Structure 1
């Protein structure tokens, strides 16, 4: 007998729909990177995803819906990459590497660069600042960082650890939405020195 807490297996139709949406999101991400959002070809996205144009619009009624889905997927991928990369590091090294990886990923990925080139305010959507659930997003990221820091050996009280994690998330959002005139976020050495001097000491 399945316990009350056990996940309920998805039906074949639900799995098919989720797989279809994942293909559409993946194809849209590729097209946005190639052509930008404004010039993205919806037919090309549908063809690459293996669906009809009408199916694509049934899943994602507008280009904005599709863009938001792509950005959310990129954010999830970044969180997973950070978690995988930080395995085995001590708490302070975890803070430094997480910060540098997130900033470098944001700076180098073609999608945010396309978004910033066409529509500077779109960075808010990428980091979550324009999302109606922005506080939920910050809380989700903060919890993930706090859990990673705890598993890496952080011994500070839970509330302090959660606050330190939230400060790091908010610092990332601030630097990507309103770049500093003092800290060059394009300089890896400056980013690392900043994280070592100001962010890592918050965690113990």
Structure 2
């Protein structure tokens, strides 16, 4: 995306917000969080720096919104690619799909490679505001498992999903010699052996 484009003076607030998120995603993915430049993000979005800071008062605030949108995109993909005849298989597919998404998504790859501590803060759900993202993920995941035949109480399903998410993201942040997160079959074996048994 070219820099220094004319300011978008006719964009609606919703369009402007989307342009900012797209520009932030591009900048964070390209250079990492610490080196990302808010002025360049404003230029990419076609807005003034002051307008950017009115919408997002800090780089951290913008990053949170970008990560939240990335999580929403991931959940949408999980909902379509993780359906199965059994809840156990659904959880396995969801895990494989989520790990594959983390390999393919430019922002997540950048976080894992250049700032695993920050990745852990976001996808370990300890950073401010990420508890609401985790709440959405567990709700979507539990609903998916229920639709695949799980008979556990819904709150227990949510806990099973949360445990699966926390364990998986922790291995992504700090790789284990016991499971190769770059290989779908290795991830499938891991999920089948250690995560799926928690669901019935």
Please state which band the TM-score falls in when normalised by the shorter chain. 0.7 to 0.9
Deviation at 1:156, TM superposition (A): 2.7
**1:138 and 1:170 in contact (8 A); partners too:** no
Q: Which runs of 5+ in 2 are unaligned?
A: 1-10
Q: Sort the Cα spacing of 1:66 and 1:160 in 2 relative to 1 into closer, same or farther, 3 A.
A: closer
Counterpart in 2 of 1:114? 110
**1:94 and 1:149 in contact (8 A); partners too:** yes
Deviation at 1:136, TM superposition (A): 4.0
Report Cα offsets for 1:15-70 as digits up to 9, x if no partner: 93233212101111012222333343434422332322211111112222222221
Counterpart in 2 of 1:25? 21
Structure 1-normalised TM-score? 0.80
Q: Distance in 2 between matches of 1:174 and 1:33?
A: 21
Structure 2-normalised TM-score? 0.81
**1:112 and 1:126 in contact (8 A); partners too:** no
1:143 to 139, 144, 160: 139
Deviation at 1:117, TM superposition (A): 3.5
Q: Which sits farther off after the overlay, 159-168 or 54-63?
A: 159-168
* Other structure's SS at 1:194 match: helix
Q: How many residues align?
A: 190
Q: Distance in 2 between matches of 1:156 and 1:32?
A: 40
1:180 to 162, 176, 200: 176
> 1:167 and 2:163 equivalent?
yes
**Which residues of 2 match residues 96-107 of structure 1 at below 5 A?**
96-107=92-103
Q: Which runs of 5+ in 1 are unaligned?
A: 1-14
RMSD: 2.4
* Other structure's SS at 2:12 match: helix
* Other structure's SS at 2:33 match: coil
